[in-house]
Structure 1
């Protein structure tokens, strides 16, 4: 009832205000055009206005009563219940939103991560226990010879290496690598191994991979200072099938590798072995001054590698090497005519040793190694131990000031004509030598076709467009002792070039 009275009073007050406002304009209008109305006239106008409002109120009374009746039903208890119900709905919606956010976060955590960039393409699980990487490199070379009238060599362009690389990790601790090579019109499986990475100090590798021996051989083909490796690489094993334990200490200050392999000839690789003899290879390498701040000392690395084994050959498979120049021309090979009396074969112990070192400080780099290789051989009833040796030293300087390193040069500013940047430029020089044991001649090797010694010097220019693309140009000249019926084999003069992309 109180609510009804209150509503009526409000309506009447509003109406009265409207009446007054409605009368005032007429009053002022009359003031403007005639005399002001009397008090009686004003009261009559107000009474008429009130009667009109009463009629309008009577007409609206049923609707007002209905509205007030509905409002009366909404007791305080009913309102509390409604508020509680609404609050419950809000809490349910908030919790549902939290669950949806948790589900989205869980999906994001479990979702694989894709990557693409200069270092290749990658796919890995969210926690990183499973990974797959695809990368590779392509090297297109040019070989041009001159002064080769006596022994002509074809000038040519060649796809030196085409190597897609698949690498990855499974179950957190096990890495793998598969690398094939389609260069030179052939298909070769270069690497295929598994690495069990339990501790940095002790990792276990099994499969086909580089033997831990030659310093320049262990350097990636994409990081080489020259187009081709120097003469000592002829005497070191390349890739072999076996098992290896390796690791490092002091964040790379000291590293080691020790393995057992099928055994390959000097400079050779192998996938299959039908012989019982095996090779054992070991290497240690140290950066003794790594903690120092003196750059030249910090970049000094010293090491030694060795191998020992027992290998046998046959007239159809002699198991002996041949040696090549940097122009990839063979200058030494053992006698072989397919018959036991005319073919030299491996016949016993094979031993190698190689002290090695490099030093990098600022734009300057120096790399050197010595290799001694000994193999017992046989031809017919004659036997001998052939001791061959080789060494080389290479120096480089980065003209644009970037740091030289065993892993190549990274330009400060990549090649970009738009901003006037040209990458990095490097010059290099090298001398190498390989000497075959005199006891190899004339019984086990023909002095009219096989040289006793090769001496090579080279100069080079390297243009690093960016971290992944480079151009290499070398001039190399190799002289020989022996190797021809009339004396020395003709000097090899070669211009070698390479355009490389590696990612």
Structure 2
């Protein structure tokens, strides 16, 4: 189902941006205005620039439209996808840059009534090699999460992303050297949830790239989050939707966990890129401690997950490694696939193709809690016909032992699930 009326309007505007004009075939730049301002319209969206003082307003956006089907190995299970087609994301993204030091970013998702606000922050870059950010942003944890969802290898991030919190409101400071980065911050809840209700977290991430050239990158990273919660905070849970957003319910799910006092997460990252080839892996461990009762403190529960993935750009350059962001916490990530001018379909080319494969796993069972186990193997093909257009096809084979929280609908016996999902992705 393709969403609400605002999402439908955004869909129409986004499809219009898939035309050659928005893709840069006929980029438009207006004459200078009375104050020297210029308006430009190209693959980066609508950009208004004032020369003195130097101010730039860019209005970008993204549309991710998914369609797919799935089947279970065990009969009697409910329908996998309630809707075969859905708007995954419909974002409007204005960014205001003032001089060289100030960035104000905002992202709003018309397709998500629960968490519509994504980035909503102010960043200051007045100190050397340092960015200070206040607002709603990504918590600095997990290479895969910090990569833009425009640039991930597959339609969805891995099963291990269940351990990564959504964007949260807080304050962060990031610093970098020639081949290393360090980010730390303090965070509450998401801005869409009113900031409170989930305690206070301290988070940090450090990365180093011992090899860092235009053609080759070796990346290591370590990150952690420690969150303290009060008894009045909302219940806590971990769950994952099997690497396809169209599923009606998660397969591995701890269910609501009451009286969670502390949640800690530790993640390790590895990536290596050589030309068009990229391999990337992460391992994440999460631990939950509950408040002490009359009999003392209950034992902590620990969960774990990870993935390894690889990609090869068949007829183009590899993914660029970006050490620093424009603002926020997204340091040391890999960007998307570039489409050279001569390979664009609108210029008579065939576009750029990328193949990818991934194995991911999650374990939500511990100390009498049966949250479930899942192992997924994913194969993917992406086609980039234009710089702001991408088509993705993924096949996912999963092996699941469902959690107790889903036993009423999925039962308790293991089963396998095969999924085919495609995405039309427009971004500007």
The aligned residue for residue 239 of structure 2 is 322
State the 1:317 CA deviation: 2.7
SS of alignment partner, residue 436 of structure 1: strand
Task: Work out the number of aligned pairs and report it.
Answer: 370
Per-residue displacement from partner, 1:33-86 (whole Å, max 9, x unpaired)?
A: xxxxxxxxxxxxxxxxxxxxxxxxxxxxxxxxxxxxxxxxxxxxxxxxxxxxxx
The aligned residue for residue 262 of structure 1 is 188
- 1:178 and 1:132 mapped to 2: Cα distance? 12
Contact 2:114 2:192 in 1 (8 A): no
- 1:191 and 1:270 mapped to 2: Cα distance? 11
The aligned residue for residue 284 of structure 1 is 206
The higher-RCO structure (CA 8 Å, 6+ apart) is: 2
Aligned partner (choices 211, 219, 227) of residue 309 of structure 1? 227
Contact 1:389 1:434 in 2 (8 A): yes
Aligned partner (choices 350, 373, 381) of residue 461 of structure 1? 381
The aligned residue for residue 343 of structure 2 is 414
Per-residue displacement from partner, 1:177-228 (whole Å, max 9, x unpaired)?
A: 0100012566711111000110342221000011110111100010011001
Q: Are 1:199 and 2:127 matched, yes or no? A: yes
Higher helix share: 1
* Alpha-carbon spacing, 1:239–1:184, altered in 2? closer, same or farther (3 Å): closer
SS of alignment partner, residue 415 of structure 2: coil
Alignment of structure 1 residues 314-463 onto 2, 5 Å: 317-328=234-245, 329-336=249-256, 344-377=257-290, 383-405=298-320, 406-412=334-340, 413-416=342-345, 419=348, 421-441=349-369, 447=370, 450-451=371-372, 453-463=373-383
Per-residue displacement from partner, 1:236-288 (whole Å, max 9, x unpaired)?
A: 122000000112222xx111111000157xxxx86424458310000111222
SS of alignment partner, residue 234 of structure 1: helix
State the 1:128 CA deviation: 5.6
The aligned residue for residue 11 of structure 1 is none
- 1:325 and 1:381 mapped to 2: Cα distance? 38
The aligned residue for residue 102 of structure 2 is 174
State the 1:403 CA deviation: 2.0
Contact 1:347 1:376 in 2 (8 A): yes
Alignment of structure 1 residues 52-91 onto 2, 5 Å: none
Larger radius of gyration: 1
The aligned residue for residue 390 of structure 2 is 470
- 2:98 and 2:193 mapped to 1: Cα distance? 25
The aligned residue for residue 488 of structure 1 is 413
Contact 1:207 1:243 in 2 (8 A): yes
State the 1:308 CA deviation: 1.1
Per-residue displacement from partner, 1:160-186 (whole Å, max 9, x unpaired)?
A: 000010001235522100100012566
**Unmatched tracts of structure 1, length 5 or more:** 1-106, 337-343, 442-446
State the 1:321 CA deviation: 3.1
Contact 1:241 1:271 in 2 (8 A): no
The aligned residue for residue 45 of structure 1 is none
SS of alignment partner, residue 345 of structure 1: coil
- 1:201 and 1:377 mapped to 2: Cα distance? 40
State the 1:396 CA deviation: 0.8
Aligned partner (choices 222, 229, 233) of residue 157 of structure 2? 229
Alignment of structure 1 residues 36-51 onto 2, 5 Å: none
**Unmatched tracts of structure 2, length 5 or more:** 1-31, 321-333
SS of alignment partner, residue 288 of structure 1: strand
Contact 2:168 2:195 in 1 (8 A): no
State the 1:465 CA deviation: 0.6
- 1:236 and 1:335 mapped to 2: Cα distance? 16
Higher strand share: 2
State the 1:497 CA deviation: 0.6
Aligned partner (choices 146, 152, 173) of residue 218 of structure 1? 146
Q: Are 1:115 and 2:40 matched, yes or no? A: yes
- 1:389 and 1:187 mapped to 2: Cα distance? 26
